[in-house]
Structure 1
Amino acid sequence: MQIITDSSCDLPKSYIDKYNIIIVPLNIEINGKNYIDGINLTHQEFYNKMAESPTLPKTSQPSPQSYIDAFKEGAKRAKEMLSIHLSSKLSGTFEGALSTRKMNGDKVEVFDTLSGSLGVGLQVLKACQMVEEGFDLNNIIEKLKEYREQMKVYVYLETLENAVKGGRVSKTKEMMASVLNLKFVVHVEKGYVKLLKTLRGKKRAISFMLEKLADENTDFNDRIIGITHCDCLEDAIKLKNEIVKRFNPSDVIITTMGPVIGTHAGHGGLLVCF
Protein backbone atom coordinates (compact mmCIF):
# COMPACT_ATOMS: atom_id res chain seq x y z
CA MET A 1 0.00 0.00 0.00
CA GLN A 2 1.24 3.49 -0.91
CA ILE A 3 0.82 6.38 1.53
CA ILE A 4 0.38 9.87 0.05
CA THR A 5 0.10 13.17 1.92
CA ASP A 6 0.53 16.89 1.32
CA SER A 7 3.37 19.20 2.26
CA SER A 8 1.47 20.65 5.24
CA CYS A 9 2.34 17.46 7.17
CA ASP A 10 5.73 18.94 8.17
CA LEU A 11 7.34 15.52 8.45
CA PRO A 12 11.15 15.53 8.50
CA LYS A 13 12.71 14.18 5.31
CA SER A 14 14.11 11.17 7.18
CA TYR A 15 10.58 9.84 7.78
CA ILE A 16 9.44 10.61 4.24
CA ASP A 17 12.40 8.66 2.88
CA LYS A 18 12.07 5.81 5.38
CA TYR A 19 8.45 5.11 4.45
CA ASN A 20 8.70 6.18 0.79
CA ILE A 21 5.86 8.67 1.24
CA ILE A 22 4.62 10.64 -1.78
CA ILE A 23 4.22 14.36 -1.02
CA VAL A 24 1.77 16.61 -2.87
CA PRO A 25 3.05 20.21 -2.51
CA LEU A 26 0.89 23.20 -1.65
CA ASN A 27 1.44 26.64 -3.19
CA ILE A 28 2.54 29.86 -1.49
CA GLU A 29 2.44 33.45 -2.68
CA ILE A 30 4.75 35.88 -0.89
CA ASN A 31 4.90 39.53 -1.84
CA GLY A 32 3.43 38.81 -5.27
CA LYS A 33 5.73 35.87 -6.08
CA ASN A 34 4.58 32.26 -6.32
CA TYR A 35 6.38 29.31 -4.79
CA ILE A 36 5.83 25.55 -4.44
CA ASP A 37 6.25 24.29 -0.88
CA GLY A 38 9.36 22.15 -0.56
CA ILE A 39 10.19 22.42 -4.26
CA ASN A 40 11.53 25.95 -4.73
CA LEU A 41 10.97 27.21 -1.19
CA THR A 42 12.45 25.75 1.99
CA HIS A 43 10.96 26.41 5.40
CA GLN A 44 13.86 28.70 6.34
CA GLU A 45 13.52 30.66 3.10
CA PHE A 46 9.81 31.00 3.82
CA TYR A 47 10.41 32.56 7.25
CA ASN A 48 13.03 34.92 5.86
CA LYS A 49 10.73 36.08 3.07
CA MET A 50 7.71 36.32 5.38
CA ALA A 51 9.65 38.61 7.74
CA GLU A 52 10.51 40.91 4.84
CA SER A 53 7.00 40.99 3.35
CA PRO A 54 4.60 43.81 4.31
CA THR A 55 1.66 41.55 3.55
CA LEU A 56 0.68 38.11 4.79
CA PRO A 57 1.70 35.18 2.57
CA LYS A 58 -1.15 33.38 0.83
CA THR A 59 -1.30 29.60 0.66
CA SER A 60 -3.40 27.56 -1.72
CA GLN A 61 -4.15 23.90 -2.27
CA PRO A 62 -2.12 21.78 -4.69
CA SER A 63 -2.90 21.99 -8.38
CA PRO A 64 -5.08 19.23 -9.88
CA GLN A 65 -2.04 18.08 -11.87
CA SER A 66 -0.08 17.60 -8.64
CA TYR A 67 -2.73 15.18 -7.39
CA ILE A 68 -2.87 13.40 -10.74
CA ASP A 69 0.91 12.97 -10.77
CA ALA A 70 0.92 11.69 -7.17
CA PHE A 71 -1.85 9.16 -7.80
CA LYS A 72 -0.22 7.95 -11.01
CA GLU A 73 3.08 7.46 -9.20
CA GLY A 74 1.31 5.72 -6.33
CA ALA A 75 -0.46 3.36 -8.74
CA LYS A 76 2.92 2.30 -10.13
CA ARG A 77 4.13 1.39 -6.65
CA ALA A 78 1.10 -0.36 -5.15
CA LYS A 79 -2.38 -1.69 -5.85
CA GLU A 80 -3.91 0.42 -3.06
CA MET A 81 -3.27 4.01 -2.00
CA LEU A 82 -4.21 6.03 1.07
CA SER A 83 -4.03 9.80 0.68
CA ILE A 84 -3.95 11.62 4.05
CA HIS A 85 -4.49 15.38 4.16
CA LEU A 86 -4.73 18.69 6.00
CA SER A 87 -8.04 19.45 7.73
CA SER A 88 -10.89 20.13 5.31
CA LYS A 89 -11.96 22.93 7.68
CA LEU A 90 -8.70 24.81 7.07
CA SER A 91 -8.02 24.22 3.38
CA GLY A 92 -9.44 22.82 0.16
CA THR A 93 -6.56 20.33 -0.01
CA PHE A 94 -8.64 17.34 1.11
CA GLU A 95 -11.49 18.20 -1.27
CA GLY A 96 -8.99 18.61 -4.11
CA ALA A 97 -7.65 15.11 -3.51
CA LEU A 98 -11.19 13.74 -3.30
CA SER A 99 -12.23 15.39 -6.57
CA THR A 100 -9.14 14.18 -8.42
CA ARG A 101 -9.69 10.64 -7.19
CA LYS A 102 -13.25 10.68 -8.54
CA MET A 103 -12.11 12.02 -11.90
CA ASN A 104 -9.40 9.43 -12.35
CA GLY A 105 -11.06 6.43 -10.78
CA ASP A 106 -7.84 5.41 -9.13
CA LYS A 107 -7.83 2.91 -6.32
CA VAL A 108 -7.15 5.49 -3.65
CA GLU A 109 -8.87 6.32 -0.38
CA VAL A 110 -8.71 9.92 0.86
CA PHE A 111 -8.57 10.66 4.59
CA ASP A 112 -9.28 13.95 6.37
CA THR A 113 -6.99 14.34 9.41
CA LEU A 114 -8.97 17.31 10.78
CA SER A 115 -5.55 18.61 11.82
CA GLY A 116 -2.53 20.56 10.64
CA SER A 117 1.28 20.49 10.65
CA LEU A 118 2.59 17.45 12.59
CA GLY A 119 -1.01 16.73 13.59
CA VAL A 120 -1.22 15.54 9.98
CA GLY A 121 2.29 14.12 10.07
CA LEU A 122 1.74 11.90 13.09
CA GLN A 123 -1.37 10.42 11.47
CA VAL A 124 0.67 9.73 8.34
CA LEU A 125 3.34 7.99 10.45
CA LYS A 126 0.64 5.94 12.18
CA ALA A 127 -0.63 4.77 8.79
CA CYS A 128 2.89 3.92 7.59
CA GLN A 129 3.58 1.86 10.71
CA MET A 130 0.32 -0.05 10.27
CA VAL A 131 1.18 -0.79 6.64
CA GLU A 132 4.48 -2.28 7.86
CA GLU A 133 2.59 -4.36 10.41
CA GLY A 134 0.36 -5.82 7.72
CA PHE A 135 -2.97 -4.11 8.45
CA ASP A 136 -5.37 -3.92 5.52
CA LEU A 137 -6.78 -0.62 4.23
CA ASN A 138 -10.10 -0.81 6.08
CA ASN A 139 -8.42 -1.52 9.40
CA ILE A 140 -5.93 1.30 8.87
CA ILE A 141 -8.73 3.79 8.22
CA GLU A 142 -10.64 2.66 11.32
CA LYS A 143 -7.51 2.92 13.49
CA LEU A 144 -6.74 6.35 12.01
CA LYS A 145 -10.23 7.55 12.89
CA GLU A 146 -9.64 6.51 16.51
CA TYR A 147 -6.22 8.19 16.55
CA ARG A 148 -7.71 11.34 15.00
CA GLU A 149 -10.34 11.54 17.73
CA GLN A 150 -7.69 11.26 20.45
CA MET A 151 -5.23 13.72 18.88
CA LYS A 152 -4.56 17.02 20.63
CA VAL A 153 -2.92 20.00 18.95
CA TYR A 154 -1.87 23.14 20.87
CA VAL A 155 -0.17 26.19 19.37
CA TYR A 156 1.60 29.00 21.23
CA LEU A 157 1.55 32.38 19.47
CA GLU A 158 4.49 34.64 20.24
CA THR A 159 3.13 37.59 18.26
CA LEU A 160 -0.07 38.82 16.61
CA GLU A 161 1.86 40.43 13.75
CA ASN A 162 0.53 37.99 11.15
CA ALA A 163 -3.00 38.27 12.49
CA VAL A 164 -2.73 42.02 11.89
CA LYS A 165 -1.34 41.50 8.38
CA GLY A 166 -4.18 39.12 7.65
CA GLY A 167 -6.81 41.54 8.94
CA ARG A 168 -8.01 39.26 11.73
CA VAL A 169 -6.75 41.54 14.52
CA SER A 170 -6.50 45.34 14.59
CA LYS A 171 -3.21 47.13 15.07
CA THR A 172 -4.62 48.67 18.25
CA LYS A 173 -5.35 45.24 19.77
CA GLU A 174 -1.89 44.05 18.82
CA MET A 175 -0.33 47.05 20.58
CA MET A 176 -2.43 46.42 23.70
CA ALA A 177 -1.41 42.75 23.74
CA SER A 178 2.23 43.78 23.42
CA VAL A 179 2.03 46.34 26.24
CA LEU A 180 0.29 43.84 28.53
CA ASN A 181 2.62 41.01 27.44
CA LEU A 182 -0.36 38.86 26.49
CA LYS A 183 0.34 35.54 24.83
CA PHE A 184 -2.18 33.25 23.19
CA VAL A 185 -2.63 29.50 23.01
CA VAL A 186 -4.92 28.12 20.32
CA HIS A 187 -5.94 24.53 19.67
CA VAL A 188 -7.48 22.42 16.94
CA GLU A 189 -11.03 21.33 17.68
CA LYS A 190 -12.99 19.26 15.14
CA GLY A 191 -10.71 20.51 12.40
CA TYR A 192 -10.97 24.21 13.27
CA VAL A 193 -8.40 26.43 14.98
CA LYS A 194 -9.87 28.11 18.07
CA LEU A 195 -8.53 30.35 20.83
CA LEU A 196 -8.04 28.32 24.00
CA LYS A 197 -6.34 30.62 26.52
CA THR A 198 -4.86 34.12 26.91
CA LEU A 199 -2.05 34.41 29.44
CA ARG A 200 0.42 37.00 30.69
CA GLY A 201 3.88 36.10 29.46
CA LYS A 202 5.52 33.36 27.44
CA LYS A 203 6.54 31.29 30.46
CA ARG A 204 2.93 30.98 31.64
CA ALA A 205 1.71 30.14 28.17
CA ILE A 206 4.24 27.33 27.71
CA SER A 207 3.48 26.05 31.22
CA PHE A 208 -0.21 26.00 30.30
CA MET A 209 0.49 23.77 27.28
CA LEU A 210 2.50 21.40 29.47
CA GLU A 211 -0.41 21.32 31.91
CA LYS A 212 -2.71 20.28 29.05
CA LEU A 213 -0.44 17.29 28.40
CA ALA A 214 -0.55 16.40 32.10
CA ASP A 215 -4.35 16.76 32.18
CA GLU A 216 -4.66 13.97 29.62
CA ASN A 217 -3.46 11.52 32.29
CA THR A 218 -1.99 9.46 29.45
CA ASP A 219 0.87 7.01 29.52
CA PHE A 220 3.18 8.56 26.94
CA ASN A 221 5.68 5.69 27.00
CA ASP A 222 4.31 4.39 23.71
CA ARG A 223 3.25 7.74 22.25
CA ILE A 224 5.10 10.06 19.88
CA ILE A 225 4.87 13.78 20.60
CA GLY A 226 5.40 16.24 17.78
CA ILE A 227 6.79 19.76 18.08
CA THR A 228 6.97 22.23 15.22
CA HIS A 229 8.45 25.68 15.54
CA CYS A 230 8.33 28.92 13.59
CA ASP A 231 12.04 29.66 13.25
CA CYS A 232 12.69 29.28 16.99
CA LEU A 233 14.61 26.01 17.33
CA GLU A 234 16.08 26.87 20.73
CA ASP A 235 12.61 27.28 22.24
CA ALA A 236 11.51 24.00 20.64
CA ILE A 237 14.47 22.15 22.16
CA LYS A 238 13.73 23.60 25.61
CA LEU A 239 10.12 22.47 25.26
CA LYS A 240 11.23 18.99 24.15
CA ASN A 241 13.56 18.66 27.14
CA GLU A 242 10.77 19.57 29.54
CA ILE A 243 8.37 17.13 27.87
CA VAL A 244 10.92 14.30 28.02
CA LYS A 245 11.62 15.01 31.69
CA ARG A 246 7.96 15.13 32.71
CA PHE A 247 6.29 12.60 30.41
CA ASN A 248 8.99 10.26 29.01
CA PRO A 249 7.34 9.70 25.61
CA SER A 250 8.57 7.03 23.21
CA ASP A 251 9.86 9.78 20.93
CA VAL A 252 9.68 13.53 20.33
CA ILE A 253 9.88 14.80 16.77
CA ILE A 254 11.07 18.38 16.30
CA THR A 255 10.83 20.13 12.95
CA THR A 256 10.04 23.54 11.51
CA MET A 257 6.44 24.47 10.92
CA GLY A 258 5.78 24.82 7.22
CA PRO A 259 4.20 27.75 5.37
CA VAL A 260 0.60 26.51 5.59
CA ILE A 261 0.26 26.78 9.37
CA GLY A 262 3.35 28.96 9.90
CA THR A 263 1.72 31.77 7.93
CA HIS A 264 -0.88 32.10 10.67
CA ALA A 265 1.22 31.19 13.70
CA GLY A 266 3.95 33.71 12.87
CA HIS A 267 7.55 33.96 14.04
CA GLY A 268 8.20 32.42 17.44
CA GLY A 269 5.17 30.12 17.30
CA LEU A 270 5.32 26.62 18.79
CA LEU A 271 3.00 23.68 18.11
CA VAL A 272 2.68 20.55 20.25
CA CYS A 273 0.65 17.55 19.14
CA PHE A 274 0.17 14.03 20.44
Structure 2
Amino acid sequence: MRIGLVTDSCCDLPRDFLDKHQIVILPITIHGSDGTFIDNRDPAATRDFYRRQAAAGVADFESEPFSAEQIRELFLSRLVLDFDAVFCLTVMQSRSQIFNHCSQAARAILTEYRPIREQASLNKPFTLRVFDSANIFAGQGLVVAEVARLISLQASNSEITKHIERLTQTTQGFLMPADLGQLRHQARRKGDKSVGFLSYALGSALDIKPVVRAYRGITAPVARIHGFNTGVEKLFSLARAHLERGLFAPTICVSYGGDPAVVTDMPAYQKLKQACKSHGVQLLLCEMSTTAGVNIGSGGVAIAFASEIEAELD
Protein backbone atom coordinates (compact mmCIF):
# COMPACT_ATOMS: atom_id res chain seq x y z
CA MET A 1 0.00 0.00 0.00
CA ARG A 2 1.26 3.46 -0.92
CA ILE A 3 0.92 5.65 2.15
CA GLY A 4 1.23 9.43 1.84
CA LEU A 5 1.80 12.11 4.45
CA VAL A 6 0.48 15.67 4.27
CA THR A 7 1.06 18.58 6.64
CA ASP A 8 0.98 22.38 6.55
CA SER A 9 3.89 24.79 6.46
CA CYS A 10 3.64 25.51 10.21
CA CYS A 11 5.43 22.17 10.59
CA ASP A 12 9.10 22.66 11.50
CA LEU A 13 11.09 20.00 9.66
CA PRO A 14 14.22 20.28 7.47
CA ARG A 15 13.61 20.50 3.73
CA ASP A 16 15.79 17.47 3.02
CA PHE A 17 13.75 15.41 5.50
CA LEU A 18 10.49 16.52 3.84
CA ASP A 19 11.87 15.60 0.42
CA LYS A 20 13.29 12.27 1.54
CA HIS A 21 9.94 11.16 2.93
CA GLN A 22 7.90 12.81 0.14
CA ILE A 23 5.88 14.82 2.65
CA VAL A 24 3.38 17.10 0.93
CA ILE A 25 3.17 20.65 2.28
CA LEU A 26 -0.01 22.74 2.34
CA PRO A 27 1.42 26.28 1.99
CA ILE A 28 0.43 29.28 4.06
CA THR A 29 0.42 32.79 2.59
CA ILE A 30 1.80 35.60 4.76
CA HIS A 31 0.56 39.10 3.95
CA GLY A 32 2.77 41.94 5.19
CA SER A 33 3.30 45.63 4.56
CA ASP A 34 6.13 44.86 2.13
CA GLY A 35 4.22 42.26 0.10
CA THR A 36 3.16 38.63 0.17
CA PHE A 37 5.23 35.59 1.13
CA ILE A 38 4.12 32.04 0.35
CA ASP A 39 5.59 29.60 2.85
CA ASN A 40 6.42 26.31 1.13
CA ARG A 41 9.15 25.44 3.64
CA ASP A 42 11.89 26.68 1.31
CA PRO A 43 14.97 27.18 3.54
CA ALA A 44 16.58 30.04 1.60
CA ALA A 45 13.30 31.95 1.24
CA THR A 46 12.51 31.46 4.93
CA ARG A 47 15.93 32.72 6.04
CA ASP A 48 15.50 35.75 3.79
CA PHE A 49 12.07 36.40 5.33
CA TYR A 50 13.62 36.45 8.80
CA ARG A 51 16.47 38.75 7.69
CA ARG A 52 13.99 41.23 6.25
CA GLN A 53 11.78 41.00 9.32
CA ALA A 54 14.71 41.61 11.68
CA ALA A 55 15.72 44.67 9.65
CA ALA A 56 12.16 46.05 9.52
CA GLY A 57 11.40 45.61 13.22
CA VAL A 58 7.83 45.27 14.51
CA ALA A 59 5.37 44.81 11.63
CA ASP A 60 1.77 43.87 10.83
CA PHE A 61 1.19 40.41 9.33
CA GLU A 62 -1.79 38.29 8.38
CA SER A 63 -1.61 34.58 7.56
CA GLU A 64 -3.87 32.81 5.08
CA PRO A 65 -3.90 28.98 4.93
CA PHE A 66 -5.10 26.84 2.02
CA SER A 67 -8.88 26.88 1.76
CA ALA A 68 -10.97 23.70 1.90
CA GLU A 69 -11.49 23.98 -1.86
CA GLN A 70 -7.76 24.29 -2.57
CA ILE A 71 -7.08 21.22 -0.42
CA ARG A 72 -9.84 19.31 -2.21
CA GLU A 73 -8.34 20.21 -5.61
CA LEU A 74 -4.85 19.12 -4.53
CA PHE A 75 -6.07 15.71 -3.43
CA LEU A 76 -8.37 15.02 -6.38
CA SER A 77 -5.83 16.17 -8.98
CA ARG A 78 -2.82 14.41 -7.54
CA LEU A 79 -2.88 12.66 -4.18
CA VAL A 80 -5.73 10.21 -4.77
CA LEU A 81 -3.63 8.93 -7.70
CA ASP A 82 -0.22 8.99 -5.98
CA PHE A 83 -1.32 7.17 -2.81
CA ASP A 84 -3.80 4.58 -1.56
CA ALA A 85 -3.95 6.07 1.94
CA VAL A 86 -3.01 9.50 3.28
CA PHE A 87 -2.42 10.77 6.80
CA CYS A 88 -2.92 14.52 7.09
CA LEU A 89 -1.53 16.15 10.25
CA THR A 90 -2.22 19.80 10.94
CA VAL A 91 -1.09 22.48 13.34
CA MET A 92 -3.06 22.67 16.61
CA GLN A 93 -6.67 23.41 15.69
CA SER A 94 -7.13 25.97 18.47
CA ARG A 95 -4.48 28.16 16.75
CA SER A 96 -5.57 27.85 13.11
CA GLN A 97 -8.41 26.97 10.74
CA ILE A 98 -6.23 24.48 8.84
CA PHE A 99 -7.61 21.42 10.66
CA ASN A 100 -11.18 22.53 9.95
CA HIS A 101 -10.39 23.20 6.28
CA CYS A 102 -8.75 19.77 5.91
CA SER A 103 -11.63 18.02 7.64
CA GLN A 104 -14.15 19.79 5.42
CA ALA A 105 -12.16 18.92 2.30
CA ALA A 106 -11.79 15.28 3.39
CA ARG A 107 -15.56 14.78 3.37
CA ALA A 108 -15.74 15.89 -0.25
CA ILE A 109 -12.64 13.98 -1.32
CA LEU A 110 -13.90 10.67 0.05
CA THR A 111 -17.16 11.00 -1.90
CA GLU A 112 -15.56 12.10 -5.19
CA TYR A 113 -12.35 10.09 -5.61
CA ARG A 114 -13.70 6.82 -7.08
CA PRO A 115 -14.22 7.88 -10.75
CA ILE A 116 -10.78 9.50 -10.78
CA ARG A 117 -9.03 6.37 -9.54
CA GLU A 118 -11.08 4.05 -11.75
CA GLN A 119 -10.09 6.06 -14.81
CA ALA A 120 -6.46 5.47 -13.83
CA SER A 121 -7.15 1.72 -13.36
CA LEU A 122 -6.75 1.99 -9.58
CA ASN A 123 -9.33 -0.32 -8.08
CA LYS A 124 -8.29 -0.18 -4.43
CA PRO A 125 -10.28 2.17 -2.21
CA PHE A 126 -8.62 5.40 -1.09
CA THR A 127 -8.48 6.34 2.59
CA LEU A 128 -7.79 9.70 4.19
CA ARG A 129 -7.42 10.48 7.89
CA VAL A 130 -7.06 14.03 9.21
CA PHE A 131 -5.45 14.52 12.63
CA ASP A 132 -4.91 17.54 14.82
CA SER A 133 -1.26 17.26 15.92
CA ALA A 134 -2.28 19.08 19.15
CA ASN A 135 0.97 21.03 18.82
CA ILE A 136 2.73 23.80 16.93
CA PHE A 137 5.96 24.34 14.99
CA ALA A 138 8.70 22.02 16.37
CA GLY A 139 6.06 19.97 18.20
CA GLN A 140 4.03 19.49 15.04
CA GLY A 141 7.27 18.60 13.27
CA LEU A 142 7.95 15.83 15.77
CA VAL A 143 4.55 14.21 15.23
CA VAL A 144 4.97 14.36 11.44
CA ALA A 145 8.55 13.03 11.62
CA GLU A 146 7.41 10.07 13.68
CA VAL A 147 4.66 9.20 11.21
CA ALA A 148 7.22 9.42 8.39
CA ARG A 149 9.48 7.05 10.33
CA LEU A 150 6.69 4.50 10.74
CA ILE A 151 5.73 4.73 7.07
CA SER A 152 9.36 4.02 6.14
CA LEU A 153 9.24 0.96 8.41
CA GLN A 154 6.08 -0.20 6.57
CA ALA A 155 3.91 -0.01 9.66
CA SER A 156 0.21 -0.68 9.20
CA ASN A 157 -2.39 2.07 9.12
CA SER A 158 -3.71 0.97 12.50
CA GLU A 159 -0.21 1.05 14.03
CA ILE A 160 0.36 4.55 12.65
CA THR A 161 -3.00 5.74 13.94
CA LYS A 162 -2.31 4.38 17.40
CA HIS A 163 1.10 6.08 17.47
CA ILE A 164 -0.40 9.42 16.42
CA GLU A 165 -2.96 9.21 19.20
CA ARG A 166 -0.21 8.66 21.78
CA LEU A 167 2.01 11.36 20.29
CA THR A 168 -0.73 13.97 20.62
CA GLN A 169 -0.78 13.24 24.35
CA THR A 170 2.98 13.06 24.95
CA THR A 171 4.58 15.63 22.62
CA GLN A 172 5.66 18.75 24.45
CA GLY A 173 6.80 21.77 22.46
CA PHE A 174 8.54 24.79 23.99
CA LEU A 175 8.93 28.18 22.34
CA MET A 176 10.97 31.17 23.49
CA PRO A 177 11.13 34.53 21.68
CA ALA A 178 14.32 36.54 21.47
CA ASP A 179 12.46 39.85 21.62
CA LEU A 180 8.99 40.66 22.97
CA GLY A 181 8.17 43.50 20.58
CA GLN A 182 6.61 41.47 17.76
CA LEU A 183 4.92 39.12 20.23
CA ARG A 184 3.20 41.99 22.00
CA HIS A 185 2.32 43.77 18.74
CA GLN A 186 0.59 40.76 17.19
CA ALA A 187 -1.13 39.92 20.48
CA ARG A 188 -2.58 43.43 20.65
CA ARG A 189 -3.81 43.24 17.05
CA LYS A 190 -5.65 40.01 17.86
CA GLY A 191 -7.08 41.32 21.13
CA ASP A 192 -4.89 39.01 23.21
CA LYS A 193 -3.98 40.81 26.44
CA SER A 194 -1.63 38.09 27.69
CA VAL A 195 1.39 40.27 26.89
CA GLY A 196 0.38 43.58 28.47
CA PHE A 197 2.35 46.80 28.39
CA LEU A 198 3.66 46.46 31.94
CA SER A 199 4.92 42.91 31.49
CA TYR A 200 6.38 43.88 28.11
CA ALA A 201 8.18 46.90 29.56
CA LEU A 202 9.52 44.97 32.52
CA GLY A 203 10.48 42.01 30.39
CA SER A 204 12.33 44.19 27.90
CA ALA A 205 14.11 46.20 30.59
CA LEU A 206 15.16 43.17 32.62
CA ASP A 207 15.77 40.84 29.65
CA ILE A 208 13.14 38.40 30.91
CA LYS A 209 11.93 35.92 28.29
CA PRO A 210 8.61 34.06 28.50
CA VAL A 211 8.59 30.35 27.65
CA VAL A 212 5.41 29.06 26.02
CA ARG A 213 4.56 25.36 26.09
CA ALA A 214 2.33 23.62 23.54
CA TYR A 215 0.90 20.44 25.04
CA ARG A 216 -2.27 18.45 24.38
CA GLY A 217 -3.87 21.14 22.28
CA ILE A 218 -3.17 24.03 24.65
CA THR A 219 -0.54 26.78 24.50
CA ALA A 220 0.30 28.60 27.71
CA PRO A 221 3.27 30.40 29.33
CA VAL A 222 5.06 28.11 31.77
CA ALA A 223 8.11 30.13 32.83
CA ARG A 224 9.89 33.48 32.69
CA ILE A 225 13.64 33.25 32.34
CA HIS A 226 16.25 35.97 32.72
CA GLY A 227 18.35 36.11 29.58
CA PHE A 228 17.92 34.47 26.19
CA ASN A 229 21.06 32.32 26.39
CA THR A 230 20.07 31.11 29.86
CA GLY A 231 16.65 30.19 28.52
CA VAL A 232 18.12 28.21 25.63
CA GLU A 233 20.38 26.34 28.04
CA LYS A 234 17.41 25.47 30.25
CA LEU A 235 15.28 24.26 27.35
CA PHE A 236 18.01 22.08 25.88
CA SER A 237 18.93 20.75 29.34
CA LEU A 238 15.26 19.87 29.89
CA ALA A 239 15.24 17.88 26.67
CA ARG A 240 18.44 16.06 27.67
CA ALA A 241 16.96 15.18 31.07
CA HIS A 242 13.91 13.59 29.46
CA LEU A 243 16.15 11.87 26.93
CA GLU A 244 18.11 10.28 29.78
CA ARG A 245 14.86 9.12 31.45
CA GLY A 246 13.56 7.67 28.21
CA LEU A 247 11.45 9.31 25.50
CA PHE A 248 8.20 7.98 24.10
CA ALA A 249 9.50 8.55 20.56
CA PRO A 250 13.13 8.56 19.28
CA THR A 251 12.98 12.07 17.81
CA ILE A 252 13.73 15.61 19.04
CA CYS A 253 12.98 18.65 16.89
CA VAL A 254 14.60 22.07 17.17
CA SER A 255 13.85 25.17 15.11
CA TYR A 256 15.20 28.71 14.97
CA GLY A 257 13.79 32.00 13.66
CA GLY A 258 16.59 32.54 11.17
CA ASP A 259 19.63 30.61 9.95
CA PRO A 260 19.87 27.33 11.93
CA ALA A 261 23.67 27.63 11.80
CA VAL A 262 23.27 30.02 14.75
CA VAL A 263 21.95 27.10 16.83
CA THR A 264 24.65 24.63 15.82
CA ASP A 265 27.23 26.93 17.42
CA MET A 266 25.43 26.94 20.78
CA PRO A 267 27.18 24.79 23.44
CA ALA A 268 23.78 23.65 24.76
CA TYR A 269 22.84 22.34 21.33
CA GLN A 270 26.13 20.48 20.97
CA LYS A 271 25.50 18.75 24.31
CA LEU A 272 22.02 17.77 23.16
CA LYS A 273 23.38 16.52 19.85
CA GLN A 274 25.90 14.28 21.61
CA ALA A 275 23.22 12.92 23.97
CA CYS A 276 20.96 12.12 21.01
CA LYS A 277 23.79 10.31 19.24
CA SER A 278 24.52 8.25 22.37
CA HIS A 279 20.87 7.20 22.72
CA GLY A 280 20.06 6.62 19.06
CA VAL A 281 17.62 9.54 18.86
CA GLN A 282 17.31 11.57 15.65
CA LEU A 283 17.81 15.29 16.16
CA LEU A 284 16.19 17.46 13.49
CA LEU A 285 17.12 21.14 13.20
CA CYS A 286 15.59 23.64 10.77
CA GLU A 287 14.29 27.15 10.18
CA MET A 288 11.26 28.01 12.27
CA SER A 289 7.99 28.39 10.39
CA THR A 290 7.35 31.89 9.09
CA THR A 291 3.97 31.67 10.83
CA ALA A 292 5.89 31.47 14.10
CA GLY A 293 8.06 34.40 13.04
CA VAL A 294 4.98 36.47 12.26
CA ASN A 295 3.87 36.08 15.86
CA ILE A 296 7.11 36.11 17.86
CA GLY A 297 9.62 37.81 15.57
CA SER A 298 13.06 36.65 14.45
CA GLY A 299 15.64 34.87 16.59
CA GLY A 300 13.26 32.68 18.61
CA VAL A 301 14.01 29.06 19.52
CA ALA A 302 11.64 26.10 19.68
CA ILE A 303 12.25 22.54 20.85
CA ALA A 304 9.99 19.50 21.15
CA PHE A 305 10.20 15.98 22.50
CA ALA A 306 7.69 13.28 23.39
CA SER A 307 7.74 12.13 27.00
CA GLU A 308 5.15 10.40 29.16
CA ILE A 309 6.42 12.54 32.05
CA GLU A 310 5.08 16.11 31.99
CA ALA A 311 8.05 18.45 31.69
CA GLU A 312 8.64 21.23 34.22
CA LEU A 313 11.09 24.09 33.91
CA ASP A 314 12.95 25.16 37.05
Q: Same fold (TM over 0.5)?
A: yes
Does residue 240 of structure 1 match 2:274? no
Aligned to 2:180: 160
2:99 maps to a residue whose letter is F
The one of 41, 46, 56 aligned to 1:43: 46
Structure 1, unpaired ranges of 5+: none
Name the Cα RMSD after superposition.
2.4
Deviations 1:169-220 (A, max 9, x none): 3455423212212112111122222101012222332233234325535336
CA contact (8 A) 2:168 2:216 kept: no
The one of 238, 256, 262 aligned to 2:287: 256
2: distance between equivalents of 1:109 and 1:195? 31
SS at match of 1:268: coil
Query: Please, which moves more after superposition, 231-240 or 104-113?
Result: 231-240
Query: Please, which moves more after superposition, 121-130 or 76-85?
Result: 121-130
2: distance between equivalents of 1:74 and 1:230? 31
Does residue 109 of structure 1 match 2:129? yes
Tell me the CA shift for residue 149 of structure 1: 1.5
Identity %: 17
Tell me the CA shift for residue 163 of structure 1: 2.0
2: distance between equivalents of 1:125 and 1:64? 24
Aligned to 1:119: 139
The one of 241, 252, 258 aligned to 1:225: 252
Question: Which of 1 and 2 has greater Rg?
Answer: 2
Does residue 181 of structure 1 match 2:207? yes
1:180 maps to a residue whose letter is L
- TM (norm. structure 1) is 0.89
CA contact (8 A) 2:61 2:294 kept: yes
CA contact (8 A) 2:146 2:251 kept: no
Larger RCO (CA under 8 A, 6+ residues apart): 2
Aligned to 1:78: 83
1: distance between equivalents of 2:261 and 2:59? 27
Q: Against the structure 1 CA distance between its residues 39 and 181, is the aligned structure 2 distance closer, same or farther, given a 3 Å change threshold?
A: closer
Q: Against the structure 1 CA distance between its residues 49 and 202, is the aligned structure 2 distance closer, same or farther, given a 3 Å change threshold?
A: closer
The one of 59, 62, 81 aligned to 1:55: 59
Tell me the CA shift for residue 22 of structure 1: 1.3
CA contact (8 A) 2:139 2:214 kept: no
Aligned to 1:14: 16
Does residue 92 of structure 1 match 2:121? no
CA contact (8 A) 1:31 1:54 kept: no
Tell me the CA shift for residue 232 of structure 1: 5.4
Deviations 1:64-89 (A, max 9, x none): 34312332221111111111111101
CA contact (8 A) 1:185 1:198 kept: yes
